[in-house]
Amino acid sequence: MITFDLIVVFIVILFILISLYKEIIGATFAFVIAVVTLGFFGILTPREILNGFANEQLAVILLLLLLGDIIRQTAIVELLFDRIFKSAKSYRGFLSRMTLIIAGFSAFLNNTPLVAVMMPYVNNWCKKNDISPSKFLMPLSYAAILGGCATLIGTSTNLIVNGMVVDQTIIPGLESLNIFDFAFVGVPMIFIGFLYLLFFGEKLLPAKEDIIDEFTQNTREYLVEAEIRKTSQLIGKTIEEAGLRNLKGLFLVEIIRKSFKISSVKPNIILQQDDLLIFAGDTERITDMIDSELGLRLPSVGMLYKKKQTEVVEIVISHNSAMVHKTVKEIRFRAKFDAAVIAVHRNGERISGKIGEIIIKPGDVLLLFTGADFVSRSSHTLDFYFISKVKDFQKLEPYKIWTLLGGTVLVILLAAFKLVSLFMGLIVLIMILLALKIANPKELYKAIDYKLALIIAMSLALGTAMIKSGAAELFADSVISIFLPLGKVGLLFGIYLITAILAAYITNIAAVAIIFPISLTMAVNLNLPVMPFILVVSFAAAANFMTPIGYQTNLMVYGPGGYSFKDFFRVGFPLTIIYMFVTVTILSLLYFY
């Protein structure tokens, strides 16, 4: 029976899907609007809306983020990586070590900071060995995803599903998932994924070379602006006379003169004082312009020119950055980070106009001209990650290193054997780290991703609304009618396909929030074991390889690797199909036969 509540829930779900796919508003605001609407119409009570903030799994996610940031701020991972990757000489040698090590770490640590730490190593190794970074950055992201799927704490997606398990009201008393419930599928897929990347990755992955003499689709083009100073020797000369048409590695895209934009730059245009020249070019050529004798200056740099300690670094904007949807000027880089944005690169999209007026998107690569305070000011930021520069990390005494590593392993083991809850173990460990001054309490709060916390709490409330309104049951009956003729295994395939598509093109959290209550309702209505219907949603949402927007680590490597959507689909689609068949086969054998 179609009720008013059911119609409202359906409209809200449709709003979330369209909003996230079209990027109309941010994910956080979309979920907030959706849940507030459900509350306004009385479908959710205030208590049900706020219940998500008291969910233990949400607290565990935030505590794991804090622990991951503490580890990132130390030299532990860097020291280990130095030893592991130093002796790697061949493509397969480096890829093998990177894939297995990152997957192993990602099973127990947040994968986003691991990828962030590893990216500069990939770039440096590729430069030394004359290999394109695009041969490694996508496998780096995939390795983190493969490892994260192997345990409950490896990815926030698994923890969100566990939070929904605890919150659901369909099956009273349904117990929380164990840390290694995911290992039966996750561990075999680490090795299958490793073999796939090792033997097929080299052929499928693109080689995005930075070709200086040709600006093709494979070039990582930055947009950079240079202003003609009053002392410039270029004033009064034509474009051709000034030699600006033949700059090696730079291409003059347009000229902004006062309030006019000259997009068709002809050779006979005469240059004037204060003209703003917009160039496209590669990293090295753009940095050369800082010391150019042509009488050009980068207006965004300003007083940073006069500082003694300066450096040019590359960063990539994170998926959940507070900078997204703001202009470069609104971000106020210089005031916040002692750095100026001198160039912008966006994959697959031509951008033009003044640097300050460019609206930032997730995955954008920025070139920064930095001052001496940049490292200290950016050490805890969640807004971006470094590509080509490894930050300076504090050195720790050996006993502190062992406390951090040993404490992390002990907490995981205690939780695995159900001697101490993961929540209490993490709280105690972080208190010890604070007491030993391994972590700074004044800086620790900066590592909390408040947007992620809000999205998770709202997604839990959305799941409750779907069950209360009967939407979950209606959707479940529809899916059952389509896939039941294929049997129990066919149902798992159906859930996996729907979840994977939603996760790839919307977000994995939205996919879990919508599909989990449907999947659980299907299991109950058909009187089948619930565990495979819970786990299949987790794996389908978390094992996200097909698109750069589907998972945060994919987005991190998207711009730096110079990839296109087609690249991700070509490499990620076969891996997604393999993951689906392995998941459904193992879950069916474990729980149906």
Residue 296 pLDDT > 50, yes or no?
A: yes
Q: Does residue 214 carry a pLDDT above 70? A: no
Strand 222-228, strand 250-257: pairing:
unpaired
72-87 burial: b if 16+ Cβ within 10 Å, else e: bbbebbbeebeeebee
User: Looking at residues 502-527, what average pLDDT do you find?
Assistant: 89
Whether pLDDT at 130 is above 70: yes
Residue-range domain boundaries for the chain? 1-210+390-396+438-593, 222-386
Give the pLDDT band (50/70/90) at residue 37: very high
Q: Could you tell me which residue, 26 or 581, shows the higher pLDDT?
A: 581
Contacts of 71 (CB under 8 A, 6+ apart): 77, 109, 113, 404, 408
Per-residue pLDDT tens over the stretch 461-506 = 998 898 888 888 888 888 888 888 888 899 999 999 999 998 888 8
Q: What is the pLDDT of residue 391?
A: 44
Mean pLDDT of 559-573: 89
- Predicted TM-score of the model (pTM): 0.78
Q: Quote the pLDDT of residue 221.
A: 57
Tell me how many degrees the CA angle 575-187-89 measures, rounded to the nearest 5.
70
Percent of the chain whose pLDDT exceeds 90: 28
What is the per-residue pLDDT across 102-115, written as a single tens digit (0 to 9) for each?
A: 999 999 988 887 88
CA distance 145 to 203: 21
Measuring CA to CA, which residue among 408, 450, 440, 400 is closest to residue 425?
408
Give the number of other Cβ atoms within 10 Å of residue 553's Cβ: 30
CATH fold for domain 222-386 = Alpha-Beta Plaits (3.30.70)
Which pLDDT tens digit goes with each residue over 240-268? 888 776 666 677 777 888 777 777 778 88
